[in-house]
Every structure is written in structure tokens, then in C-alpha cells.
Structure 1
Amino acid sequence: ASAGDLSRFRSGRQFSAWLGLTPREHSSGQQRRLGGLTKRGDVYVRTLLIHGARAVLQAARMKQRRGQALDPLQAWALKIQDARGHNKAACALANKLARRLWAMEHHGMPFDPRHVSERPHAT
């Protein structure tokens, strides 16, 4: 609601950057250095997305312990959590969720937890 009309954002990444869920960049020349989250934008919405991502991580870990099948998003999130830690995984998942929200609004599609984005083939 605080973002207004999501069509004003050209891409999901732009929306995610507006929320402050993209890494701060300290790059020069050929060297690309990414830092922590920028934390700019709407604090409340960013907080809600991160808390939602923490809930997804916890539910995915519980499903994994019970031996239940994980959807692709949950499997990806657990892989990030194992490699980078819980908080970084929560922020990465919040970023991905923000981009999915933008895409759902932009394309007018309902949420599909099994959706996997495919890059357009080069012609």
C-alpha cells in the first residue's frame, strides 16, 4: 500500500531496491563489491517481508526434518541458509519475495509457489 502503484517500477529489482532489499554497491572499474542491504525505502514493508521470509525458512526446515517434499523456493532458501546463515538467507528470500510480488502485479498472475523463472532465449 505504501509503494502505491507498482507499475511505476520498471522491474522487480527496482521495486526491491526501493524497499531497501538490494546490496549496497562499492564498485570501481572491473572490481565489483557488494555490501550489506541498503535499508532505504519503507522500513515497515521491508520488516514484514523479512519476517515472512524467516517464517518460510522455519517452515521449510520443519518440512525437511519430517522428510516432506520442499517446493523449489523452500529448497533454494535452505541451500542459502546452509551456505550463508539464517539472517542472510532471510534477507535474500525477502528480496526474492518482493520481486515475485512485483511480477504477480505486473503480469496479473496469482501466486504459484512452484513457479520457476526462465530467461528468454537469445534469438
Structure 2
Amino acid sequence: MPMFGQLVRFVVAGGLATALYTAVYSPLAGFGITSEQGANLAGYLVAMASGYFLHSRWSFRGHGAGAGQTTWRFLAVSLVSYAMNTGWVWLLTDEAMLAGPWWWPLLPVLFVTPFVSFALNRLWVFA
């Protein structure tokens, strides 16, 4: 049952971080303020900072490793998430690939990357 509680907390905290990512990415990419990749980077930076705070203090609170060990591991996992999202943006919006609209990457950003992130956070970062 502890893992289920963590999963629920992760979904809530990750949902908030992802909502912040979307709130930053969408206007920047949707209104053409910057490229989709520029919007992805801006969204990532906001989501990473909020995600670390939420996950370390709530989602995985009391689950193993201390702050010194989790900080660099969380950064490594967030870079994996960033790389995944960068890949989604490139694959789905780049003219050389699928050339889709700016919002296409939001689908795997919302429904694929978080599951990989949860597994890595649970099994490695906060283990």
C-alpha cells in the first residue's frame, strides 16, 4: 500500500509540475513567442524546480535516501525527462519529422514521460 500512496502523491505533485510546464510551454509555442524547443526548455526549468520541491517534500517524503544524495539523482532523472520531452517536441513538430502543430508534444509529455519519471524517482532517486 505505501507504493500506491506514493503513486497518488506523485500523480498530484507531478500533475502540478506538468501543469506548470504546460502553462509555460503553451503560450510561448502557441503564440510563436519562441520556438517549440525554446518553450520546452522554459517549461522544463519551471517544472524541474517545482517538481523537486514537491516530490522531495511530499511525494517521496521519508522514502529512503537523504537530500544530498537525492538532489543530484533528481537532476539526472529530470534531464532524462527533459531529453524525452525534447525528443517528443522534435519528432512531432520539426519540419524534418512529422511537422505537427505545437500542441502535439503535450500528449506524450502528459501521458508517457511521467510514468518513466515515476519509476526512476521511486526506484533510484528516492530509494
TM-score scaled by length of structure 2: 0.34
TM-score scaled by length of structure 1: 0.34
User: Which structure has the bigger radius of gyration?
Assistant: 1
Q: Greater share of helix residues, 1 or 2?
A: 2
Q: Greater share of strand residues, 1 or 2?
A: 1
